[in-house]
Structure 1
Amino acid sequence: MKPINPIRLMLIGLVMAIAGWSATVVTSRFSLATPVLPATALASMGVIVAITLILGIRILRWRNSNRDATKKKTVLNPILAARTLVLAQACAYAGTVLLGWHVGIFLDQLRIWNLRSDQGITWVAVAMAGGGLVMIVVGLLVERFCKIPPEDTETPGEGKRSPRGEAAGEGEYAYRGD
């Protein structure tokens, strides 16, 4: 698997901000409800972040315990590692979508901030954008946890080679797919 490209995340966030802003403009013109997630969605986001972080910490502990060459190397379940990596990347992408969408809503709500007596929707949009940002940070952090450090060899640059010709540990994750 390839690591997440931060530029791709920024582009997705920008597109979703434009989409969120456009949807808010359209719904307000037709006197419909603002398309913001309810505040209870923060609890779901918190559960997803907690599960991702717990699984990531398990991978990090395995990786750190195998650094010492004198200790017996334990085997990591490759399915667990692959699922953790996929969950981390999904968390980052979902956080980007949520952040972008709710930033767009927030930007539209700012222009009528003084005209509204109830600014609850604006604060919910800010909270959801903050939750999206937390999801992005945790996703990228856990993705980094899943990265295998380069293997130490006696001669520098003479490690095992992957089928693509890269040295072991270069751009690879805990799940190698060999």
Structure 2
Amino acid sequence: MNSLRFRWLALVGLVAGFTGWLVNWLATRNGYGTPTLPLTSLVTTAVIIAITLVFGRRVLQWRNGKRDRPLDPILATRTLVLAQACAYAGALSLGWHAGIFVDQLTLLSVRSTTAPLWGSVALMVGGTLMIMVGLVVEDFCKLPPDDDGTGAPGHSEGEYA
């Protein structure tokens, strides 16, 4: 399985940011509300981050030598996929709400409330945390290099557990 590419995360964030800005621009100029997630979605974000960290910790413990029982390869693979999905979802959320934030800044002088602005900031922080946790847990899933130097097949540096 390939590791996360920062270019792809940046591309997802930029496309989502432009789309968020455009949708918000169209919505607010036509009398609709700001198309952001509610702040209660931060609870869901926290749950996703916690689950990703719990599964990542299990893989990390096994990788670091606590091998009292074998690591289920399906669990390790699912943890890796969860970490990567978490990072991509974070990039999407960060980009979308950054685009809305930029458009809301231009409306600051005509609005009486800054609630959409602060809501976007909170959701951008949540997206950033998702990216960071995804990258860290993905790193948990990498196997350490072989100590014996034999280069056993399937266990070189940078491969996943």
With structure 2 as the length reference, what TM-score do the two structures score?
0.95
- Root-mean-square deviation (Å): 1.3
Identity of aligned residues (%): 50
Change (3 A) 1:73 1:50: closer
Residue 173 of structure 1: aligned partner: 160
1:97, distance to aligned residue in structure 2 (A)? 0.2
Unaligned 5+ runs, structure 2: none
Give the residue type in structure 2 aligned to 1:27: A
1:159, distance to aligned residue in structure 2 (A)? 1.2
Unaligned 5+ runs, structure 1: 67-71, 163-167
The answer as to 2:73 corresponding to 1:86 is no
Q: Secondary structure at the match of 1:2?
A: coil
Runs of at least 4 residues off by over 3 Å: none
Quote the Cα distance in structure 1 between the aligned partners of 2:56 and 2:113. 40
**Contact 1:2 / 1:171 at 8 angstroms: preserved in 2?**
no
Quote the Cα distance in structure 2 between the aligned partners of 1:169 and 1:13. 32
The answer as to 2:146 corresponding to 1:151 is yes
1:4-153 alignment to 2 at 5 Å?
4-65=4-65, 74-153=69-148
Q: Secondary structure at the match of 2:64?
A: helix
1:171, distance to aligned residue in structure 2 (A)? 2.8
With structure 1 as the length reference, what TM-score do the two structures score?
0.86
1:7, distance to aligned residue in structure 2 (A)? 1.1
Which structure is higher in helix share? 2
Change (3 A) 1:96 1:85: same
**Contact 1:89 / 1:139 at 8 angstroms: preserved in 2?**
yes
1:65, distance to aligned residue in structure 2 (A)? 1.7
**Structure 2 residue corresponding to 1:161, chosen from 153, 156, 159:** 153
